[in-house]
Structure 1
Amino acid sequence: MEPRGALKAAIAAMAVIAAIGLFVSACATGGTGARDEGPAGSDAVVPSAAPSPSRSSAANEPTRLDVVRMVKDDPEVAKAVKQDLKPCVADEYPVDVSYGDLTGGVANDIVVNVMTCGDAVGVGSYVYRMENHRYQNVFKAEEPPVYAEIDRGDLVVTQQIYEKSDPLSYPSSEDVITYNWRGSHFAFVTSTRNVYSNAVGNGGTPAPAGN
């Protein structure tokens, strides 16, 4: 072999050996190219914070029938309301049930509205909160017609007001009262009264006041 050819062969062999050495070094250190050039510890796994206690899931919440039994067994509920709490059709009870966070407890609170079967007039509204592993009555309103609901973390109770000549479907006004949970009870926040016109035609709808 000519000296020039031998020199080329030697250079090529050294290049191959150097490339193999770099490959083996990268594999041994778990290298990933440019990513290894960053600050030390940049790829360290940060332990996640301990999970906070979770609220009860929907699967663990009382069913509508469970809620009906809870209301019937509740000594805080008026006897007249319990007497009205009967199935309208088959096992369909006239209750509206809402689940949500009103009191910041370990489980969702339950808002229950008991109504009449025929005209769906609210005869009682209640809030149940999980305390000591069982639901406790922490709010009630039993002056019909009444309806309670959850609104952005507050309890909003609507109380319709009738004059003597008002038909059942057209109250003269309504009070909308907002309550907020204050550690151990619901506290009054604000109240708004909406007054409606009593000018109702034959079979017509009430006109808004002022129109």
Structure 2
Amino acid sequence: MVKADPEVSKAVKQDLKPCVADEYPVDVSYGDLTGGTANDILVNVMTCGDAVGVGSYVYRKRGGEYRNVFRAEEPPVYAEIDRGDLVVTQQLYEKDDPVSYPSSEEVITYHWTADRFEEQSRTHNEFSKAVGTADSPAPATD
């Protein structure tokens, strides 16, 4: 579905190859996001090595086929279904951040209204620089 979708970027399609045998680096969820007659399909495409999200897509059934109604392709990105809403998390990195420790993240909640997703809320979370660094102080012992 993703490879045949004209809305998916060329870069994501080129990288979408099986990691092992015929296992593709995708997470797929089914649920009601758009109020349609069939479950919507949420697809997260990731990298094989470190499972970094490179694209998130929502497909809605209309006229007998599934059509793309949402895409986010700014890595690292990951989307989830939460109580009928689409929640997209995007990790943000500063210049020298290692992949395992982003500086912050944006969590954006979208709700389906009429015929499209509309942003409902946005939360910005800053992460501590001390967490996970080699020079973090050891916990005090009594």
Q: If the TM-score is normalised by the length of the shorter chain, which range does it land in?
A: over 0.9
Structure with higher helix content: 1
Q: RMSD value over aligned CA atoms?
A: 1.1
**Residues 36-76 of structure 1: CA deviation (Å, up to 9, x unaligned):** xxxxxxxxxxxxxxxxxxxxxxxxxxxxxxxxxx1000000
Query: How does the TM-score come out when normalised to structure 2?
Result: 0.93
Distance 1:77 1:149 in 2: 18
| Structure 1 residue 201 displacement after superposition | 2.5
Which consecutive unaligned segments of at least 5 residues does structure 2 have? 137-142
Q: Secondary structure at the match of 1:180?
A: strand
The AA in structure 2 aligned to 1:202 is A
Distance 1:203 1:76 in 2: 44
1:201: which partner in 2?
133
Which residue of 59, 63, 81 maps to 2:12?
81
| Structure 1 residue 203 displacement after superposition | 8.8
Structure with higher strand content: 2
Query: How does the TM-score come out when normalised to structure 1?
Result: 0.63
Which consecutive unaligned segments of at least 5 residues does structure 1 have? 1-69, 205-211
Distance 2:44 2:129 in 1: 27
Distance 1:180 1:191 in 2: 12
Q: Secondary structure at the match of 1:73?
A: coil
Q: Secondary structure at the match of 2:94?
A: coil
| Structure 1 residue 198 displacement after superposition | 1.6
Structure with the bigger RCO (C-alpha within 8 Å, sep 6+) is 2
TM alignment of 1:108-127, pairs within 5 A? 108-127=39-58
The AA in structure 1 aligned to 2:38 is A
- The answer to whether the aligner puts 1:71 opposite 2:71 as a matched pair is no
Q: Highest CA radius of gyration, 1 or 2? A: 1
